[in-house]
A and B are shown apart, each in its own frame.
Chain A
Amino acid sequence: MMDWVAIGLTARLAGCAALALLAIGLPIAYWLATTHWRGRVFVEAVVALPLVLPPTVLGFYLLVAFGPRHHFGQWYETLTGHLLPFSFGGLLIASVIYSLPFAVQPFTVAFRSLDPAFADIAKTFGATRLQIFWHVAVPMAWHGILAGFVLSFAHTLGEFGVVLMVGGNIPGVTRTLSISIYDQVQSLNYAAAAWNSSFLLLVCFAILSITYLLQRHFRIA
């Protein structure tokens, strides 16, 4: 009944995407929160694009741009030895783009809510910008960072359209839980679809509940 291969793969994909978004999202968010450059609104708009664009747009670009007939695709192939579609790496890139706002936006809010006095004090002690980021901003904004990490993990669990377009439905490589449920419904295997759907429902509910509980707890404390 339960598609454990797909569940394992989905968890791995969501975990890798959330970690990658931590590495990519934190510097972007810190820069967005501290810069005074007026053009930052355009960067914010780019970051927010996956919230409103249909996954088919991303799927189309990934398929075509990373196909063998385009420079990106050829470059990616020489770098990794395979093409982006139908691979775990391809899904990971798609997930990172797709969940970008779910990481960067909470990170940015958390950094903006910090009292700038702390950074100023650190600066008077001779701290560099990197040191301030690493030893002042990140530890103080940790609850917002946790929220962004968890949200991007949960959002990747629910990814469907992009995976359907560029995944190729390979068991253990690109057949995520959402695709597996889709297949079960098409094959009229409603019992299996119900088991896997309720599993995903409960996991996502638990993740979000814990996140909101933590946030409330630390806001009050």
Chain B
Amino acid sequence: MKAVVMQSRLSWALVAIVGYHGAVLSLRAAETEATQTITVAAAADLKFALDPIVADFQKQHSNVTVRVSYGSSGNLFAQIDNGAPFDLFLSADIDFPRKLIENKKAVADSLFSYAVGRIVVWVPKDSPIDVEKLGIESLLTPSVRKIAIANPEHAPYGRAAVAAMKKLGVYDKVSSKLVLGENIAQAAQFVESGAADIGLIALSLAVSPKMKGEGRYSEVPPDAYLRLEQGGVILSASKQPDLARQFRAMVVGPQGRETLQRYGFILPE
């Protein structure tokens, strides 16, 4: 008798649980009908600059959510090349997007150039190094023990940093002091936290609200490294290429250009 009562209670509980979940699921279904999501794979130098652009875009498209994953361009390239489900890729160079088109992972005619990156020598504000006066020579200061750059193996900013150090004749003297961030944002974090004494980082990070008051910098002469032309592509795996195109239009449109310029990028013609 008792067992029967127990069993019926249990089944009522089950009905209640299933009913609840059904209701939640149908609510979710209604939600996805109303709102769409696009996912963007973005180079880490865009970490702060892209936020206002995303906000502007979402203001114009109130039913769209933009999700951004940041990483080194090489890391994101490897993920996309192996099937990562992004809609749009904003690289810190133009070769990775080109290669994706070659590999049929990106839409053939979708390549666009949206910014040109710049690198700076950055020190924390309490550093004794007069970086504004010394420029790249700051790296040779005897008190410098660790120099943060992005990993040149897969981060375009790391490649540019190494090229600039070689061109300006300091690389051989400092190569033993280099520490490599997984991407340019980690390199910036290494030096912002004081763990590294000085760093070669993206200007777009140096002028961001998070880092602006935390340190001083001087720009590395742009002719010392290969032009950091930053390109993007719409990915073949995208299920909503039209929406991705609209976001691209925002990035290269007047609002996007204004924001990118504010973050220190040079704009492509």
Contacts and interface: CB of A to CB of B under 8 A. Distances in A.
A71 to B, nearest CB: 14
A188 B151 contact: no
A86 B151 contact: no
A85 B154 contact: no
A168 B187 CA distance: 9
Contact of B195 (A83, A164, A183, A186): A83
B211 interface: no
A24 interface: no
A69 B153 CA distance: 31
B190 A168 contact: yes
B193 A63 contact: yes
B39 interface: no
Interface in A4-22: none
Contact of A85 (B78, B151, B182, B190): B190
Contacts of A169: 151, 179-182
B193 A82 contact: no
Nearest to A169: B180
Given A169-B179, A170-B180, A186 B72 contact: yes
Contact of A64 (B75, B81, B179, B193): B193
B161 interface: no
Contact of B74 (A64, A68, A69, A187): A187
B193 A183 contact: no
A186 B74 contact: yes
B89 to A, nearest CB: 15
Task: Classify chain A's interface size.
Answer: 10 to 19
Interface string B68-81: 00001011011001
B153 to A, nearest CB: 5
Given A64-B193, A86-B146, A86-B196, A186 B75 contact: yes
The residue in A82, A86, A170, A188 that gathers the most chain B C-beta atoms within 10 A of its C-beta is A86
A187 B99 CA distance: 13
A185 interface: yes
B178 interface: yes
A67 B146 CA distance: 13
Interface in B170-227: 178-182, 190, 193-196
A188 B99 CA distance: 12
Nearest to A62: B195
Contacts of B182: 164, 169
Interface in B117-161: 145-146, 148, 151, 153-154
Interface in A116-135: none
A187 B159 CA distance: 13
Given A83-B146, A168-B146, A187-B153, 17 more contacts: A63-B193, A63-B195, A67-B195, A68-B195, A69-B194, A83-B145, A83-B195, A86-B179, A168-B148, A169-B179, A169-B182, A170-B178, A170-B179, A186-B78, A186-B154, A188-B74, A188-B77
Interface of A: 63-64, 67-69, 82-83, 85-86, 164, 166, 168-170, 183, 185-188
27 contacts: A63-B195, A64-B193, A67-B194, A67-B195, A68-B194, A82-B145, A83-B145, A83-B195, A85-B190, A85-B196, A86-B179, A86-B196, A166-B195, A168-B146, A168-B190, A169-B151, A169-B179, A169-B182, A170-B179, A183-B153, A183-B154, A186-B74, A186-B75, A186-B153, A186-B154, A187-B74, A188-B81
